[in-house]
Structure 1
């Protein structure tokens, strides 16, 4: 008689072994390349347009969002994600990719009910989590400063 334990033990022999080191290296390299592009954009905006490093942050983030949305629209970012795994989920570009993917997936339902409503399903939870965690960290910092 086949039980759950026997089945789990039997299928372990047939499951592919994850290549953890190879996957970690690919994620590290691709994530690093995305960050390198961001640093290159920072240098570009400071040298060409005369921004300070702090002021260059906004156009750099905007450019990275635009690039990842365009790459998602052309289907390139999905291939990068399949290759790099978590390395392509660098916060700004990964978030822009997920928003653009949701918008493209539901475009057949129309602009308002399809794209606009489904695009922000993921964004809403991320914004709520970011706001709540920022509040908690801010309160902890405030309490530490008050009592120490």
Structure 2
């Protein structure tokens, strides 16, 4: 006599719909690429009209992309784009902006400090922490190599 749990798992596998992996990858690639092209257009506009250089245009471009993402998330548009594109919207910096504002919107009923502020920075805090820590490690390694090479 066979085990009913094993039989059910086998049956479940036969009934599970196949995921269109290649189609999902192509959508993520195209939408993520379009977001990056849009970011490049913003950079070019800042350099052409506002006299930023290639070295200084990064911060305002990222801030603009995050601001636009937060507006689109607030109006529910970014979630529909993310539903279609999947990881294509999560990988660029816009995914970070969406995650931060989504947490803020979700917890707004708990108040501005504990709800919005506290939950919004749960994600942002870890990103900032690992960013600063990674920068420290890379700078430390670079300093050691510079010291050993005599530069």
**What is the TM-score of this pair, normalised by structure 2?**
0.88
The equivalent of 1:119 in structure 2 is: 120
Structure 1 regions of 5+ residues with no counterpart? none
CA contact (8 A) 2:32 2:92 kept: no
RMSD across aligned positions (CA): 1.7
- Aligned-partner Cα distance in 2 for 1:13–1:102: 37
Q: Secondary structure at the match of 1:62?
A: helix
Cα contact 1:65–1:96 (8 A) shared by 2:
yes
Q: Equivalent residue for 2:131?
A: 130
TM superposition outliers: structure 1 runs of 4+ over 4 Å: none
Query: Helix, strand or coil: the match of 1:89?
Result: coil
Give 3-state SS (helix, strand or coil) of 2:89's partner.
Answer: helix
Map of 1:38 onto structure 2: 39
Counterparts of 1:1-148 in structure 2, within 5 Å, are: 1-147=2-148
Partners of 1:136 and 1:6 in 2: CA distance = 51
Aligned residues: 148
The answer to whether the Cα contact below 8 Å between 1:34 and 1:90 also exists between their aligned partners in 2 is no
Tell me how far 1:3 sits from its aligned partner. Answer: 4.8
TM-score, structure 1 as length reference: 0.90
Whether the 8 Å contact between 1:31 and 1:88 is mirrored in structure 2 is yes
**Mind listing any 5+ residue stretches in structure 2 that lack a counterpart?**
none
Larger mean CA deviation between 53-62 and 36-45 belongs to 53-62
Q: Please tell me whether the aligned partners of residues 35 and 92 of structure 2 are also in contact (alpha carbons under 8 angstroms).
A: no
Q: Is the partner of 1:90 in helix, strand or coil?
A: coil
